[in-house]
């Protein structure tokens, strides 16, 4: 295995202001190359700033291509027949992220599982969507946008809404409801 730390130190010593140190470093570098069977053509000089700039350009190209593909996909989703999307969903050809979304909802509500009721209203308020849109997400008919995940993560902790239980009234003529039952 090539000792890259030693190689780095030798190359650094080539820039010493002392001519004797530079000459000694050059000799040791030559010996190191011969000992490790490294030909000068095998050595690639890479300037750190250029490597970072090349990486940034590559990432920008990927981001631009990703943005383009997202726009194309959004167009096709918008103009696709809902029945066709439903068939594709059932066939497993379209990614349904509802399970991931439900896990995030449980985290925001501090629950293990989503209850049957009381969680939709706070979510609708945070996301600014309709109940039918939320239902379409759950059924997998519509794609859950990444912005919904972001808004939900950024929202403060959510609390369940509890509706007042319906009161059942019995005609009792002023008596206790249990006394109105026939004996």
% of the chain at pLDDT higher than 90: 15
Residues 104 and 150 in one domain: yes
Q: Which two tokens stand for residue 144?
A: 């859950």
Distance, in Å, from the CA atom of 168 to the CA atom of 159, rounded to the nearest integer, reads: 27
Residues 23 and 67 in one domain: no
Residues 149 and 102 in one domain: yes
The sign of the dihedral angle between the CA atoms of 100, 103, 105, 108 is negative
Residue 59 pLDDT more than 90? yes
The model's pLDDT over 15-41, given as tens digits with 9 standing for 90+, comes to 889 999 999 999 998 888 888 888 888
The region of weakest confidence among 80-84, 93-97, 100-104, 166-170 is: 166-170
The band of 164, judged by pLDDT with boundaries at 50, 70 and 90, is low
- Environment class of 160 (CB within 10 Å of its CB; exposed 0-12, middle 13-18, buried 19+): middle
Q: What is the predicted pLDDT for the residue at 2? A: 60
Residue 32 lies inside a defined structural domain of this protein = yes
Range of the domain at 9: 4-42
Residue 173 lies inside a defined structural domain of this protein = no
Short-list 164, 163, 160, 161, CA closest to 110: 160
**Total domains, the chain:** 3
Residue 87 lies inside a defined structural domain of this protein = no
The band of 175, judged by pLDDT with boundaries at 50, 70 and 90, is low
Residue 9 lies inside a defined structural domain of this protein = yes
pTM of the model: 0.41
Residues 12 and 34 in one domain: yes
Residues 36 and 62 in one domain: no
């Amino acid at each position: 295995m090539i000792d890259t730390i030693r190689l780095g130190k030798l190359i650094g010593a080539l820039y010493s202001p002392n001519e004797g140190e530079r000459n000694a470093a050059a000799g040791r570098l030559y010996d190191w190359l011969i000992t490790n069977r490294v030909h000068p053509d095998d050595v690639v000089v890479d300037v750190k700033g250029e490597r970072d700039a090349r990486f940034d350009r590559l990432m920008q190209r990927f981001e631009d291509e990703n943005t383009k593909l997202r726009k194309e996909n959004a167009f096709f989703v918008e103009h696709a027949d809902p029945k066709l999307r439903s068939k594709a969903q059932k066939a497993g050809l379209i990614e349904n992220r509802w399970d991931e979304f439900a896990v995030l909802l449980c985290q925001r509500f501090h629950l293990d599982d989503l209850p049957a009721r009381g969680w939709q209203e706070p979510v609708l308020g945070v996301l600014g969507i309709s109940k039918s849109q939320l239902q379409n997400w759950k059924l997998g008919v519509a794609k859950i946008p990444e912005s919904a995940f972001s808004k939900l993560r950024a929202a403060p902790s959510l609390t369940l809404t509890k509706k007042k239980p319906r009161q059942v009234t019995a005609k009792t003529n002023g008596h206790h409801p249990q006394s109105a039952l026939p004996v």
